[in-house]
A and B are shown apart, each in its own frame.
Chain A
Amino acid sequence: MLTALLLCALALLAVAGLAALGRGGERRGAALATAAVYGGCLAVSTLAFALALAALLGGVTSGLTLPLGLPWLGAHFRLDALSAAFLVLVSLGAAGASFYALGYGRHAEAPLRVLPFYPLFLAGMLLVPLADDAYAFLLCWELMSLASWALVLAEHRPAENARAGFLYIVMASFGTLALLLAFGLLAGPEGRYAFAAMRVGDHAPLTSALVLALALLGAGSKAGLVPLHVWLPLAHPAAPSHVSALMSGVMTKVAVYAFIRIVFDLLGAPAWWWSVPVLTLGASSAVLGVLHALTEGDLKRLLAYSTIENIGVVFIGLGLALAFRADGHLGAAALALVAALFHAFNHTLFKSALFYGAGAVLAATHGERDIERLGGLIHRMPVSSAAVLVAAMAAAALPPLNGFASEWLAFQAILVSPDLPQWALKFLIPTVGTLLALAAALAASCFLRAYGIAWLGRPRSAAAAEAAETDRFSGAAMAGFAVLCVLFGLFPGAAVDALAPVTERLVGARMPAQLGEAWLSIVPIADSRSSYNGLLVFLFVVASAVIAAAAIHRLASRALRRAPPWDCGFPRLAPSMQYTGASLSQPLRRVFGPVVFRARETVEMPPPGSVAPARIVRERRDLAWEFLYAPVGRAVGRAAELLNHLQFLTIRRYLVFVFLSLVLLLLGLGLWS
Chain B
Amino acid sequence: MVLIGELAAQAAQMLLVLLVAPLLTGLVRKVKARLQRRRGPPLLQPYRDLRRLIGKEVVLAENASWLFRVVPYLVFSATWVAAALVPTFATGLLFSWTGDLIAIIALLATARFLLQLAALDIGTSFGGIGASRESLIASLAEPATIMIVFTIALIAGSTQLSHIAAFMGSEQVGLRVSLAFALVALVIVAIAENARIPVDNPATHLELTMVHEAMVLEYSGRHLAMIEAAASVKLLFHLSLIACIFFPFGLAQEGRDLLAYAAGAGLWLAKLAAGGVLLAMFETSIAKMRVFRVPGFLGAALMLGLLATLLLFISRSL
Interface of A toward B, CB cutoff 8 Å: 375-376, 378-379, 382, 389, 393, 396-399, 404, 408, 411-412, 414-415, 417-418, 426-427, 429-431, 433-434, 437-438, 440-442, 444-445, 448-449, 451-453, 456-458, 521, 527-533, 536-537, 540-546, 548-549, 552, 556-557, 559-568, 570, 573, 575, 577-579, 583-588, 590-591
Contact = CB atoms under 8 A, between A and B. Distances in A.
Interface in B114-144: 116-117, 119-129, 131-133, 135-136, 138-143
Interface in B285-308: 291-292, 295, 302, 305-306
A529 B158 contact: yes
Contacts of B67: 378, 389, 456
Given A537-B81, A585-B132, A587-B136, A426 B313 contact: yes
B54 interface: yes
20 contacts: A389-B67, A393-B110, A399-B110, A415-B153, A426-B314, A440-B143, A441-B143, A444-B112, A448-B116, A448-B120, A456-B117, A530-B153, A530-B158, A532-B99, A540-B77, A540-B81, A544-B77, A557-B222, A566-B61, A588-B136
B139 A442 contact: yes
B316 interface: yes
Given A527-B97, A579-B132, A542 B158 contact: no
Nearest to B225: A552
A536 B98 contact: yes
B143 A557 contact: no
Given A529-B157, A540-B98, A567-B122, 17 more contacts: A378-B121, A399-B110, A404-B106, A411-B146, A412-B159, A417-B313, A426-B314, A444-B113, A537-B103, A543-B77, A548-B226, A552-B226, A566-B59, A566-B217, A567-B217, A577-B125, A584-B128
B116 A452 contact: yes
A533 B313 contact: no
Given A379-B63, A557-B221, A565-B218, A541 B77 contact: yes
Given A379-B63, A437-B142, A445-B138, A578 B125 contact: yes
Nearest to A537: B99
A458 B123 contact: yes
Contacts of A445: 135-136, 138-139
Nearest to B205: A568
A521 B125 contact: no
Contact of B117 (A429, A451, A557, A568): A451
Interface string B93-112: 00101111011001101101
B62 A565 contact: yes
Given A556-B55, A585-B132, A376 B123 contact: yes
Question: B113, B225, B306: which has the most chain A beta carbons within 10 Å?
Answer: B113
Nearest to B308: A430
A448 B113 contact: yes
A589 B287 CA distance: 26
A414 B150 contact: yes
Interface string B65-92: 1110000011011101100000000000
Nearest to A448: B116
A545 B146 CA distance: 27
B99 A544 contact: no
A408 B110 contact: no
A530 B159 contact: yes
Contacts of B160: 528-531
A437 B103 contact: no
Nearest to A559: B57
B127 A579 contact: yes
A122 to B, nearest CB: 35
B146 A456 contact: no
A418 B73 contact: no
A584 B121 contact: no
Contact of B131 (A452, A541, A542, A565): A452
Chain B at the A interface: SS class: helix
Contacts of B98: 521, 531-533, 536-537, 540
A575 B123 contact: yes
Interface of B: 54-63, 65-67, 73-74, 76-78, 80-81, 95, 97-100, 102-103, 106-107, 109-110, 112-113, 116-117, 119-129, 131-133, 135-136, 138-143, 146-147, 150, 153-154, 157-160, 163, 207, 217-218, 220-222, 225-226, 291-292, 295, 302, 305-306, 309-310, 312-314, 316
Nearest to A526: B158
A530 B153 CA distance: 9
A437 B131 contact: no
Contact of B95 (A536, A541, A559): A536
Contact of A557 (B54, B77, B126): B54
Contacts of B142: 437, 440-441, 444
B116 A533 contact: no
A391 to B, nearest CB: 13
B73 A549 contact: yes
B125 A544 contact: no
A562 B99 contact: no
B132 A418 contact: no
A426 to B, nearest CB: 4
A531 B100 contact: yes
Contacts of B157: 528-529
A70 B81 CA distance: 62
Contact of B120 (A426, A457, A560, A561): A457
Contacts of B80: 544
A476 to B, nearest CB: 20
A546 B70 CA distance: 10
Nearest to B312: A418
A568 B136 contact: no
Contacts of A404: 103, 106
B131 A579 contact: yes
Top 4 nearest A-B pairs by Cβ distance? Answer: A579-B128, A457-B123, A559-B57, A452-B120
A293 B6 CA distance: 47
Nearest to B154: A418
B217 A587 contact: no
A214 B159 CA distance: 38
A566 B157 CA distance: 50
Nearest to A378: B65
Contacts of B132: 579, 583-587
Contacts of A548: 73, 76-77, 226
A587 B106 contact: no
A557 B55 contact: yes
Contact of A398 (B106, B128, B159): B106
B308 to A, nearest CB: 9
A453 B102 CA distance: 29
A283 B63 CA distance: 41
A568 B309 CA distance: 44
Contact of B143 (A389, A438, A533, A562): A438
Nearest to B127: A579
Contacts of B100: 530-532
A376 B63 CA distance: 9
Given A379-B63, A556-B55, A587-B292, A579 B125 contact: yes
A545 B125 contact: no
A548 to B, nearest CB: 6
B166 to A, nearest CB: 10
A397 B127 CA distance: 23
A293 to B, nearest CB: 13
Given A452-B120, A545-B76, A563 B61 contact: yes
A399 B135 CA distance: 18
A557 B59 CA distance: 12
B73 A579 contact: no
Contacts of B120: 448, 452-453, 456-457, 579, 584
B81 A560 contact: no
Nearest to A536: B98
A431 B292 CA distance: 25
Contacts of A458: 63, 123
Contacts of B102: 408, 411, 530, 532
Contacts of B121: 378, 452, 456-457
A43 B71 CA distance: 40
